[in-house]
Structure 1
């Protein structure tokens, strides 16, 4: 158990480290977060975190608790300095986020709720994926790279391994690897 707590602490530390350059780049105007994506992620991360905690994830979910705060800060900067356009898919993601909350809190069906969280999160990635495809330097590559590593560590920090505790992490690893790949390739080929 103590080893898992050490790993959980490492994931929290890596979350802080990974978002320092992102926040620095956001403040300087180099990174322009999509505000609505971060609002959606704030809601979804909150639901995912509480589902994980209530199902025994323990230290493996600690970084998601911190991510609630980080999402709120970046969302705020997104509304001040980032991209604010809302498209149809954003509305779908927000609706799915609220349906996930409904299934979790009212219907007491955390599995379906978590599936909706993952689907909504994946759809919420679309504006963020679209943006660096067009503007490959508009996102902070280092943040996504560190996050892929951090979330992998978080899987090993899970105190109870189940669909409800691990699936959100697995999804997030895949999503961050996609972003790292996209940012790397688009930057490489935009110089040609």
Structure 2
């Protein structure tokens, strides 16, 4: 079962590369606040889980941070791939950073994971809002692969505890939510405007 974790890591990396290609084609416009914080929070959660003895099951969480870092870096290289940052984005980013600071002050692994989840969720809000209103600015591949990647963590868990389960469960749910936000117009027709 552990080989699924390596497959998930490869898929996560492939999805990031696919998203970057969509950026260069003008088909994806990442929110830099979300993508920066998405690279930080999972990395902290992975380090915290590793410090609690979680080993291979933490690889998908680490890859969630690493693959989003790739997208964040390329968002500066690809001139047309950006999303205007608004006050809402900055507020979510600031609260997200505060969550990480609170974790740093506590120095406890489970609290680190809780605050990493909170930070990641708050970082997600600007992209979720953008994807719901303007789904054409997003590409579903990194989120769909995130669902699979998070699921593989459960296959590799040897000791079921908060440190091993919390962040993968969160990633599983949040990637489903983001995928639905991007793809919802395929299933829910837009209302025609009344003239």
Aligned to 1:116: 115
> What are the Cα deviations for residues 21-52 of structure 1, in whole angstroms up to 9, with x where unaligned?
21210121110010111111121122111012
Change (3 A) 1:111 1:146: same
TM-score, normalising length from structure 2?
Answer: 0.84
2:87 paired with 1:90:
no
Q: CA deviation at 1:160?
A: 2.8
Change (3 A) 1:7 1:57: farther
- What RMSD, in angstroms, separates the aligned Cα atoms of the two structures? 2.3
TM-score, normalising length from structure 1?
Answer: 0.85
Counterparts of residues 125-164 of structure 1 (less than 5 Å): 125-164=124-163
Aligned to 1:55: 52
Counterparts of residues 1-192 of structure 1 (less than 5 Å): 3-4=1-2, 6-79=3-76, 80=79, 81-88=81-88, 90-104=90-104, 106-188=105-187, 189-190=189-190
Query: Counterparts of 2:137 and 2:191 in 1: how far apart (Å)?
Result: 15
Q: Secondary structure at the match of 2:181?
A: helix
Q: Secondary structure at the match of 1:49?
A: helix
- Structure 1 portions without partners, runs of 5+: none
Q: CA deviation at 1:19?
A: 2.3
Q: Secondary structure at the match of 1:137?
A: helix
> What are the Cα deviations for residues 58-100 of structure 1, in whole angstroms up to 9, with x where unaligned?
1111133333332222112334421241424534444443543
Q: Secondary structure at the match of 1:30?
A: coil
- Structure 2 portions without partners, runs of 5+: none
Give aligned pairs, total.
Answer: 188
> What are the Cα deviations for residues 8-29 of structure 1, in whole angstroms up to 9, with x where unaligned?
2122122123223212101211
